[in-house]
Structure 1
Amino acid sequence: MTPAPSPGDVLPSLTVPITRTLIVAGAIASRDYQDVHHDAEAARAKGAPDIFMNILTTNGLVGRYITDRLGPGAVLRKVAIRLGVPNYPGDTLLLTGTINSICADERHAEDVDRLSEDALRLLAEVAVVGTNSLGRHVTGTVVVALPTAQPPLRESP
């Protein structure tokens, strides 16, 4: 185990191929049946060149990025994102992140006497940016609870 991440640490990036299957499966999984997420003709009729990813799929990819990089003990507490340019099939999303801050998780302060030191948690705020060939697809911050002892930052599997 290595020490918890520090402010300024850059997380390893994650590259996600944007496929029709990912876009449609994400829309179905999140019960977003808007035609622009599964019907290319309908998307074109509404001014888009093709189907495009919904915000809930992007939100899930951001969450996956953080938990993949910070390890199995990481627990998402807050995800706040803003979409920019769309994700279309055939493009690639590159997710990057930087640790903004680390602080003690005050909600667990009353449990300190009952918990072992390994169970104490820290809160990390991570700035996340996702880009594709058109520009910035997503920007935001994620607050994640971390155990005080962390595995090393992880690369893509």
Structure 2
Amino acid sequence: MDLVELLETRRAEILMDAGISQSRSHLVQYDPAERQERQQRLRTLYNLVLRGVRVRDLEALRDYMETIAQEQYAAGSDLYEAQMALNVLEEAIWHHIVVRMPACAYSESIGLITTVLSAAKDTLAQAYIARACKTDTLPPNRLELLETADHV
């Protein structure tokens, strides 16, 4: 079994594992009312990661990460919160690689998935920071938290 086959055949399990980890994160922006939207974003992200692994082209994934960065900044999420989906997806995929693939395949598979997800993380961070630099301020929700902290 290679990485593409693993990602195709274990899609539901990997997404379930990542979704569970994401829901346990208890971050401000991960309100239970937004569960379906988070699950859809995670599925879209997964599909783009799989595409990147399969065709060795990350343009669509990078474009999606730029869009997510803009949306997350506008929603008041901080950068860590915006990267949570990437982190939980990476953890779930690594787990399935180690459990389902022969040890001799770890290096190539983990190297490839790390390369793809690192590119996504880098694009997300750069786009988010570029947005923050344009406004030279924190996202709106973060400013409110700072104001509240000043009064405590």
TM-score (norm 2): 0.29
Name the one with the larger strand percent: 1
Name the one with the larger helix percent: 2
Which of these two proteins has the greater Rg computed from alpha carbons?
Answer: 1
